[in-house]
């Protein structure tokens, strides 16, 4: 039997507003346990939530970027369940009237372009964090994360491979990153993924019974969990068994998943409209204002770089791999650097220097004016390419003054024809054999002579000029 894997994703994204969804507490990561809480986010009786409008703006911005229809009048609902990380014993979420519905995300894989449908996205509050201490046989709870705003983005069951899932998550991360609404750090839990997966006979259009794997927090874990779970379900079915609809936990250390609990239904949560919060109204004007203030997305920048600057697809991809890098490149171009030159320097030297130092593009020490000045000196023939790379390395960390550095170290290219001619004459005199070789048609010897002249000029000769003068003098003999 040929099987087909079917996957749908639920992704939780922590939004990077400074304060929580329904109170003024800080959302900062890594604070001392229970130092960022108040009666509202700790669920004290009688404490009332007040909506943080910045969260709505972020959520609507994401909804529009994902092509969703935004719900003009939204509501919050209570999702009731008891768990020690949830002090109110209910989570404020949106079930009936979420932020938006029916969007799509374009992904690119080796197999080509494909559209993944977005079923819906909604706002909800995060829960606290439980810390189990097996030695003391204790569990402690940190409520700092309670009430941190989350956006849950639910896709249609449109994925067929792990590769598609990873491409989608990368695209989603890019979109969130360009919008500036989340830091998307999987390792800090600000982007978490539940994978719903079923298998069915290839060609069938009926969905099989699915399982859900919770809180996968790396691309590697997601890809491995998908491979494992698809094989497990196929084996169950091939042996004549039935897949049980359940929630499973992926154990990264054991490279296997195991059943956690049978799947709960919507009814189990006894959802009902949240009585303590008014409806959320998003007008057409408000959406337009958000659109007008929206930063360009990676996809839009790639199109622009290709059309406006004529850059190849590879360059467009590399330059937009990070928002800070794209901004740096655009600043270079705005300072008059030819686009292709700028692109080459950013993709070569800038990325190289960052990775050698283990720096993120946001932490780039060199500024666009410094690199633009350096590139201009090369363009004007005042620095040769090799020397410019050395100057770049020298000024990178302190954003040093290129002109001053070049002057202080006497690095400017020797373009004085008189100096070059004298040097060439000396070299020709000292190396009669290579000179004879060149005249006998041995090209290699010419390169040798160029090298000798450059050496005498301490590497600062203008290579073009050196070649010209050499050719001329050799022709004379």
Q: What is the dihedral of CA 178, 181, 184, 185, to 10 degrees?
A: 120
List the one residue out of 58, 158, 164 whose CA is nearest residue 111: 164
Query: Rounded to the nearest 5°, which phi and psi values hold at 77?
Result: -130, 155
Residue that has been written with the tokens 């002109």 in this structure: 403
Among 6, 13, 21, 41, binds Zn ion (CB under 5 A): 41
Using rule CB under 6 A, residue 8 touches ligand ADP: yes
Q: How far is the CB of 118 from ligand ADP (least distance, A)?
A: 9
For ligand ADP, how many residues bind (rule: CB under 6 A)? 15
Using rule CB under 6 A, residue 226 touches ligand ADP: no
Of the two residues 190 and 211, which places its CB atom closer to ligand ADP in the complex? 211
Site for ligand ADP in 96-155 (CB under 6 A): 154-155
List the one residue out of 394, 459, 466, 397 whose CA is nearest residue 428: 466
Among 13, 25, 167, 350, binds Zn ion (CB under 5 A): 25
List the one residue out of 294, 196, 286 whose CA is nearest residue 243: 196
Q: Which stretch binds ligand ADP (CB under 6 A): 2-10, 56-64, 125-133, 401-409?
A: 2-10
Using rule CB under 6 A, residue 434 touches ligand ADP: no
Residue nearest to ligand ADP (CB): 8
Taking a C-beta distance cutoff of 8 angstroms, is the pair 371, 383 a contact? no
Taking a C-beta distance cutoff of 8 angstroms, is the pair 373, 405 a contact? no
Q: Which stretch binds Zn ion (CB under 5 A): 39-47, 80-88, 158-166, 368-376?
A: 39-47
Q: Which of Zn ion, ligand ADP, none does residue 157 bind (CB under 5 to 8 Å by kind)?
A: ligand ADP
Compose the 179-218 pattern: x for residues touching ligand ADP by CB under 6 A, - for all others. -----------------xxx--------xx-x--------
Of the two residues 39 and 241, which places its CB atom closer to ligand ADP in the complex? 241
d(CA 333, CA 328): 9
H helix and E strand count, the chain: 16, 16
Q: How far is the CB of 406 from ligand ADP (least distance, A)?
A: 58
Q: Which of Zn ion, ligand ADP, none does residue 23 bind (CB under 5 to 8 Å by kind)?
A: Zn ion
List the one residue out of 433, 426, 434, 435 whose CA is nearest residue 455: 426
Using rule CB under 5 A, residue 51 touches Zn ion: no
List the one residue out of 209, 213, 210, 167 whose CA is nearest residue 194: 213
Q: Which stretch binds ligand ADP (CB under 6 A): 5-13, 178-186, 419-427, 430-438?
A: 5-13
Q: What is the CA radius of gyration of the chain?
A: 31
- Give 326's contacts (C-beta < 8 A, 6+ positions apart): 298, 301, 319, 320
- Give 160's contacts (C-beta < 8 A, 6+ positions apart): 4, 5, 6, 7
Using rule CB under 6 A, residue 6 touches ligand ADP: yes
Using rule CB under 5 A, residue 38 touches Zn ion: yes
Residue 268 DSSP one-character state: G
Among 15, 21, 23, 364, binds Zn ion (CB under 5 A): 23
Using rule CB under 5 A, residue 59 touches Zn ion: no
d(CA 384, CA 389): 9
d(CA 364, CA 351): 10
Using rule CB under 6 A, residue 244 touches ligand ADP: no
- Give 78's contacts (C-beta < 8 A, 6+ positions apart): 90, 91, 92, 93, 271, 272, 273, 274
Q: Which stretch binds Zn ion (CB under 5 A): 32-40, 205-213, 238-246, 349-357?
A: 32-40
Of the two residues 37 and 216, which places its CB atom closer to Zn ion in the complex? 37
Q: How far is the CB of 221 from ligand ADP (least distance, A)?
A: 18
Q: Which stretch binds Zn ion (CB under 5 A): 35-43, 222-230, 283-291, 422-430?
A: 35-43
Of the two residues 233 and 349, which places its CB atom closer to ligand ADP in the complex? 233
Compose the 156-185 pattern: x for residues touching ligand ADP by CB under 6 A, - for all others. xx----------------------------
Q: Which of Zn ion, ligand ADP, none does residue 9 bind (CB under 5 to 8 Å by kind)?
A: ligand ADP
Taking a C-beta distance cutoff of 8 angstroms, is the pair 62, 121 a contact? yes
- Across the beta sheet with 77-80, the strand order is 90-93, 77-80, 272-273
- Give 135's contacts (C-beta < 8 A, 6+ positions apart): none
d(CA 91, CA 166): 29
Q: Which of ligand ADP, Zn ion, none does residue 25 bind (CB under 5 to 8 Å by kind)?
A: Zn ion
d(CA 126, CA 75): 17
Of the two residues 41 and 118, which places its CB atom closer to Zn ion in the complex? 41
Q: Which of ligand ADP, Zn ion, none does residue 41 bind (CB under 5 to 8 Å by kind)?
A: Zn ion
The residues binding Zn ion (CB under 5 A) are 23, 25, 38, 40-41
Q: Which residues bind ligand ADP (CB under 6 A)?
A: 6-10, 154-157, 196-198, 207-208, 210
């Amino acid at each position: 039997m040929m099987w087909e894997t079917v996957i749908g994703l639920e992704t939780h994204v922590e939004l990077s507003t400074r304060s929580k969804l329904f109170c003024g507490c800080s959302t900062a990561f890594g604070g001392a346990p229970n130092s960022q809480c108040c009666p509202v986010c700790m669920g004290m009786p009688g404490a009332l939530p007040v909506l943080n409008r910045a969260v709505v703006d972020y959520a609507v911005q994401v909804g529009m970027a994902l092509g969703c229809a935004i719900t003009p009048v939204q509501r919050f609902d209570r999702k009731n369940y008891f768990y020690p990380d949830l002090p109110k014993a209910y989570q404020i979420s949106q079930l009936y009237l979420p932020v938006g519905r029916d969007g799509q995300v374009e992904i690119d894989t080796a197999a080509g372009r494909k559209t993944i449908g977005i079923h819906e996205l909604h706002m909800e509050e995060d829960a606290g964090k439980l810390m189990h201490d097996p030695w003391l046989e204790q569990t402690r709870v940190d409520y700092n994360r309670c009430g941190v705003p989350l956006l849950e983005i639910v896709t249609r069951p449109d994925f067929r491979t792990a590769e598609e899932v990873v491409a989608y998550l990368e695209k989603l991360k890019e979109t969130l990153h360009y919008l500036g609404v989340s830091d998307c750090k999987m390792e800090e839990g600000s982007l978490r993924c539940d994978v719903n997966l079923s298998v069915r006979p290839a060609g069938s259009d009926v969905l099989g019974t699915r399982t859900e794997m919770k809180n996968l927090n790396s691309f590697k874990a997601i890809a491995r969990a998908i491979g494992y779970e698809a094989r497990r379900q196929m084996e169950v079915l091939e042996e004549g068994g039935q897949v049980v609809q359940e929630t499973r936990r992926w154990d990264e250390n054991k490279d296997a998943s195991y059943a956690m609990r049978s799947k709960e239904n919507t009814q189990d949560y006894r959802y009902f409209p949240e009585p303590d919060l008014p409806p959320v109204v998003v007008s057409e004007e408000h959406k337009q204002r958000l659109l007008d203030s929206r930063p360009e997305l990676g996809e839009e920048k790639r199109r622009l770089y290709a059309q406006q600057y004529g850059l190849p697809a590879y360059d467009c991809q590399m330059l937009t791999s990070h928002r800070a890098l794209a901004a740096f490149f655009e600043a270079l171009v705005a300072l008059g650097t030819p686009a292709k030159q700028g692109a080459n320097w950013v993709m070569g030297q800038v990325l190289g220097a960052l990775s050698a130092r283990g720096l993120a593009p946001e932490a780039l020490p060199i500024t666009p004016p410094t690199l633009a000045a350096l590139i201009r000196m090369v363009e004007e023939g005042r620095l040769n390419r090799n020397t410019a790379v050395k100057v770049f390395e020298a000024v990178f960390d302190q954003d040093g003054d290129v002109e001053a550095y070049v002057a202080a170290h006497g690095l400017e290219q020797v373009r004085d024809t008189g100096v070059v001619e004298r040097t060439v004459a000396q070299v020709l005199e000292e190396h009669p054999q290579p000179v004879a070789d060149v005249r006998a048609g041995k090209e290699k010897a010419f390169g040798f002579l160029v090298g000798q002249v450059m050496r005498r000029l301490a590497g600062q000769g203008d290579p073009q000029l050196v070649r010209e003068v050499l050719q001329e003098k050799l022709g004379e003999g």
